Amino acid sequence: MSLYWAPRAWLGGGWAERVLLRVGGDGQWAEVAPGVTAPAQAEVLPGPVLPGLVNAHSHAFQRAFAGLAEGRESDTDDFWSWRDRMYRVALRITPAQLRAIAAMLYAELLRGGYTQVCEFHYLQHRPDGRPYDDRLELSWALADAAAEAGIGLTLLPVLYQRAGFTQPALRDDQRRFAADSGAVRELQRGVAGASRPLLNAGVAIHSLRAAEPAAIAALLDGLGDVPVHIHAAEQTAEVDDCLQATGRRPIEWLCAHAAPDARWQLVHATHAAPAEIAAVAQSGAGIVICPSTEANLGDGLTDMPGWLNAGVPLAIGSDSHVTRAWPEELRWLDYGQRLQRRQRNVCAAPAEGLPSTAARLLQRALHGGGRAAGFGRWGLQPGARADLLLIDTADASLLGMPEDRLLDALVFSSPGDPFRDVMVAGRWVPRDRTAVAARFAAAMRALWNEA
């Protein structure tokens, strides 16, 4: 066992003083006790601590495209034109390049305060569309990258069959994505059966437009208690196409026909009507919001007060990885609502005793993120994995801040580097990423200089 003592720690939605943290031999918290004088055998941490967060939605290979689509040469640019350009990366990347890019990404996510990432993994085959000899080749590239970085990984192989509601097959530039329900179940079992440390597996459905209802039913039949993620209602065109094809909006159709439950995560859920929010709340499913990517792609803004007030579990993700730190995601989660509604602190709830926007969003993201990754317990509590973030109060964004405003400053003050050290499963994550960065740079040069 390892024993730590923190002057302050985030427990149960607020700061607690003088907290003893004991790590068990299984890498989980064996004891979390506030109001304790530091024992002589404990390591005294030089600052307050937060739990690590789950990044509940990631496409790791898209890290290679971040910053490379920020201009246009046509009259308009939107999600669909971005997607066509993004496929250029998907068609070129090799397993070794994917590992190099994912290792860099996962190291960045750790520095940004995430200790677990849910990988929505639809890149499955060789560039010509043929399967690899080991169908898990690209899954292992991601798992190896996560192990090298030291982050936990929930791998979600994706059901991906068609290019749209009226297109029975994939486009040629989607050939690396093909996976039916049987293939997804096989991939999930292969990853889960590997019994690697810090690795678990669920399943994903790319979207209603990309998967037939019968295949969704086959995937879910007897699946068991594992996470189920799906892109839902990200774009207005998707909503319109779904209405035309099925007579229902995407979230409406899912709630009526797919019986979502507490295993489910609806990713983006951008264009949700009030009745759909109520239906999701009744189902027990959660949502995953990716504010920086949704802004970058021009998706739109979801009804955050509606989701929060309905009690729907909330997780956050960085999706295409234009940003890679959770404070920025939480900041923009509220900033988008402020811009739309011309109000401030939209996501706070003073009537419920939650006047701090940052505190309310952090606590919801902690709870919802743990569920999204398949954990029954998450955060600084006995039985949860022993993850924590050691805050650097000397960082410029936090320097001189009153203790009771530290979290507000961490989220809403100027971006900085607020996490001095990161622990995952009771082990401190190394800070030196020189070799990881060198391999990432080489992979980027190979991908883009050959174009």
User: Catalytic positions, please?
Assistant: 268, 319
Q: Which of 40, 92, 96, 51 is nearest to 68 (CA)?
A: 92
Q: Whole-angstrom Cα distance, residue 114 to residue 326? A: 7
Amino acid at 231: H
Q: Whole-angstrom Cα distance, residue 451 to residue 95? A: 18
Q: Whole-angstrom Cα distance, residue 406 to residue 415? A: 14
3-state secondary structure of 385: strand
DSSP labels, 236-249: HHHHHHHHHHHSS-
- Here the tokens at position 332 are 């923009």
Q: Which of 357, 330, 329 is nearest to 343 (CA)?
A: 357
What DSSP character marks residue 224?
A: -
Q: Whole-angstrom Cα distance, residue 144 to residue 142? A: 5
Q: Which of 352, 354, 334, 353 is nearest to 344 (CA)?
A: 334
Percent of residues in the chain assigned helix, strand, coil, to nearest 5? 40, 20, 40
How far does CA 177 lie from the centroid of its chain? 20
- Bridge partners of 390, per DSSP, are 49, 421
